[in-house]
Amino acid sequence: MPSTITHLQCSRPACGKVAPYSTLQNLCPVCSSPLLARYDLSIAKRTLTLDAVRTRTRTMWRYEEVLPGAPPVSLGEGMTPLIHAGRLGERTGLSNLYIKDEGLNPTASFKARGLSAAVTMAKALGAKTLALPTAGNAGGAAAAYAAKAGLGCVIAMPADTPMANIMESRAFGADVRLIDGLISDCGKFIADNRIREGWFEVSTLKEPYRIEGKKTMGYELWEEFGGRLPDVIVYPTGGGVGLIGMWKAFEELETMGRIGSERPRMIAAQAEGCAPIVKAFEQHGESSEFWNNAATVASGLRVPKPLGDFLILDDLYASHGEAVAASDSEMLAACREMAALEGIFAAPEGGAGLVAIQKLIEQKKIRCDESVVLFNTGSGYKYVEAWQAALGM
């Protein structure tokens, strides 16, 4: 089934600028907001059915009607297991707790989905060298897919990024620049040099396709829940691409008549040491403020000011969701629980999600019979330093 992509459109409704998908694009040329891919869903819905997708390739590319159309640069991303967490659920007080284990993706995090889509389109549209700032895992994924595609890759990451991210990126042949600072400083380095160097920037939300890859997490839940959606989705939020992407997937599914207007409550889990979305949510703000001195072992959550903050917050409010922060010690303790009770060696980001669930149950904002999906966004194998501390080694 071919892709039904028709155009790109600015994510700010007041702008709405349309851009072609047939050339390389970064932000909206008018207002510098993220561009979103749009599809002819009246055509897509003819073939995108539960029965049809179940017969297709076991990667995220099975939802091809609603993904960009080019030969996929694929390492087998997506279709991660959705595990019923019976023992952890019992301990936590939930009979329907599920863990979507994104640590089983290529390069051991959910970043594989977004980068598979972005690298696919960048290659198809003629980019030669990709560049991005990263908190860690996106860099490793970009480097792997660039290697697979035969493209150059320049990665700027904080000097104190977990060693596994630096090692994998170098192994995949990327040009890794270690910057004394945070992802925001790395972003500035890439933005300042990209034009002179001829790099195509694939930073979070600065090109339209990472979100398309990440939205497949929403399509997978729809498929795994047999055409329905869970009551609650808990998502460790840094740049928020997966949360925005899943919300986009649900809108597309509704437009295609595959689901009704009901939606899961979306829960953004953040770290106490960097919680701009939690702070904005508590103040009912439309956007976030830059978080000074961001620090947490959950390196993927160390994003002081997400570019798509207004989209994340819109989706949280629309879903009647929540935003909850976890301390580093809370999230590492939660990781140990997940490991001991479910055999899942999680990233600290996944631990933050479990803490959010525990806190919301205490506050009676999640009921014991609700279906709750916790996204473990990465593998603990990439966080040896954090796990050493967690285990007191």
Ligand X SMILES: Cc1ncc(COP(=O)(O)O)c(C=O)c1O
User: Closest Cα to residue 41, out of 224, 219, 266?
Assistant: 219
Query: Which residues pair with residue 373 across a beta bridge?
Result: 98, 233
Contacts of 313 (CB under 8 A, 6+ apart): 277, 280, 281, 285, 286, 287, 288
Contact positions with ligand X (CB under 6 A) in 364-393: 377-378
Residues 286-325 that bind Zn ion (CB under 5 A): none
| Residue 109 is a binding residue for ligand X (CB under 6 A) | yes
CA–CA separation, 69 and 165 (whole Å): 30
Nearest residue (beta carbon) to ligand X: 300
Amino acid 269 reads A
Considering only 334, 347, 355, 386, the residue that binds ligand X (CB under 6 A) is 347
Task: Measure the CA–CA gap between 91 and 352, rounded to whole angstroms.
Answer: 17
The residue range among 131-139, 171-179, 283-291, 323-331 that interacts with ligand X, by the rule CB under 6 A, is 131-139
Q: Which of 167, 174, 150, 168 is nearest to 73 (CA)?
A: 150
Contact stretch for Zn ion (CB under 5 A) within 13-21, 44-52, 95-103, 259-267: 13-21
Name the 3-class secondary structure at 244.
Answer: helix
135 binds, among ligand X, Zn ion, none (CB under 5 to 8 A by kind): ligand X
Judged by beta carbon distances under 5 to 8 A according to partner kind, the member of ligand X, Zn ion, none in contact with residue 109 is: ligand X
Hey, which residues between 220 and 239 contact ligand X (CB under 6 A)?
A: 236-239
Using CB under 5 A, which residues numbered 168 to 187 contact Zn ion? none
- What does 17 interact with, of ligand X, Zn ion, none (CB < 5 to 8 A by kind)? Zn ion
**Which residue, among 146, 128, 80, 101, has the nearest Cα to 379 in the 3D structure?**
101
- Determine which residue in the list 119, 122, 135, 267 makes contact with ligand X, applying CB under 6 A: 135
Distances in Å between the Cα of 38 and the Cα atoms of 8, 63, 155, 220, 246 are: 6, 14, 29, 19, 15
Select the binding partner of residue 106 from Zn ion, ligand X, none (C-beta < 5 to 8 A, by kind).
none
**CA–CA gap between residue 143 and residue 145 (Å, rounded):** 6
Query: Quick check: 167 binds Zn ion (CB under 5 A)?
Result: no
In contact, 249 and 235? CB cutoff 8 Å: no
Give the bridge partners for 265, in sequence order.
232
Select the residue interacting with ligand X from 68, 140, 240, 264 (CB under 6 A): 240
The residue (of 44 and 179) whose beta carbon lies closer to ligand X is: 179
Interface residue with ligand X among 154, 241, 297, 338 (CB under 6 A) is 241
Which residues here bind Zn ion, judged by CB under 5 A? 10, 12, 15, 17, 28, 30-31, 33
Which residues here bind ligand X, judged by CB under 6 A? 109, 111, 135-138, 204, 236-242, 300, 347, 349, 377-378
